[in-house]
Amino acid sequence: MAEATRDPVTGRETTGHEWNGIEELDTPIPRVVLFFLAATTLFAIGYWLLMPAWPLGWTYTKGLLGNDQREIVTRQVQDAAAERASWTSRIAKASFAEIAADPALMRHVRDTGRTLFADNCAVCHGTEGKGGPGFPNLAAGSWLWGGTPEAIAETIRVGINSTAKDTRTAQMMAFGRDGVLQREQVLAVVSYVRSLSGQKLTETEQARVPAGKEVFAANCAACHGPEGKGMHDLGAPDLTDAHWIYGGDEQSVLNSVHGGRQGHMPSWEGRLSPTDIKLLALYVGTLSGDRK
């Protein structure tokens, strides 16, 4: 055992250990460290007494406060369900106009609608409902079947060309493939259709427009309307605006007229509750309103 000596510089005792002439001072642990050690130990003992702490085989020490995370979560879930039930039942009962006039309910429509839309509709219509090739833009305010909440709810309920008994049916025939129109007539009507939305036409296209106008009046106006503005009863799109399901360039319009188009929108009755369909119809309605 080495002998403790006093260090001449600091005046402290040394531990007596010595390595190559270097000796170790016997400095005590600082008071503040001891204080925190005592404080945290006391806190731990207090916490063990008050809160659930020690496992005891099948059970555990419950703590004097009776705090139980499981109970707290159950209570929170019940509260949330009760809160949701209070406004979902109001949405179920109220008319579309009443809900639209109630800012508090419309806040729920926006919040819940966004989730429902993301879960069920966004795969086809995009997260913001802006659609894509083959899938209509629901935020454009240009509707196939009408943009009232009633019409939108009906579209969601029965679908379009779906397997539901009362599905909406959209049939754009294959005028070219089925030989209803000759190739020249198809090309002419394509140019005319493109002129309706004010697109820039080549000279060749321009020259076809008058003939195309006649083909349109005889073959297309019955569904798309005499001015090409579409018809909600038939799901026939407005051909005069800038919104296209399949594209407004020459090749896309040619494909539409040559091969026909039958879009498929699934029916949601039975998969979504009537309240959810109602909520989604209102939510889809806000998509075009929110457009900046």
Q: Report the alpha-carbon distance of residue 215 to residue 194 in Å, rounded.
A: 14
Q: Which is nearer to ligand HEC, 14 or 234 (CB)?
A: 234
Count the neighbouring beta carbons within 10 Å of the beta carbon of residue 269: 16
Residue nearest to ligand HEC (CB): 263
Phi then psi dihedrals of residue 58, to 5 deg: -80, -25
The closest alpha carbon to 23, from 3, 39, 37, belongs to: 3
Give Cβ neighbours of residue 65 (< 8 Å, ≥ 6 apart): 50, 51
CB of 257 to ligand HEC, least distance (A): 5
Of the candidates 17, 107, 177, 264, which one interacts with ligand HEC according to CB under 6 A? 264
By CB under 6 A, which span of 18-26, 29-37, 45-53, 244-252 interacts with ligand HEC? 244-252
Enumerate residues 151-210 that contact ligand HEC by CB under 6 A. Answer: 152, 155-156, 160, 170-172, 175, 189, 193
Q: Which is nearer to ligand HEC, 105 or 136 (CB)?
A: 136
Residue 149 in the binding site for ligand HEC (CB under 6 A): no
Of the candidates 14, 268, 282, 285, which one interacts with ligand HEC according to CB under 6 A? 268
Q: Which two tokens stand for residue 167?
A: 């599905």
Give Cβ neighbours of residue 90 (< 8 Å, ≥ 6 apart): 99, 105
Which residue's entry shows tokens 């008319």? Answer: 95
Give Cβ neighbours of residue 134 (< 8 Å, ≥ 6 apart): 245, 246, 263
Judged by the rule CB under 6 A, the positions of this chain that interact with ligand HEC are: 120-121, 123-125, 134-136, 138, 143-145, 152, 155-156, 160, 170-172, 175, 189, 193, 219-220, 222-224, 234-237, 239, 244-246, 253, 256-257, 261-266, 268, 280, 284
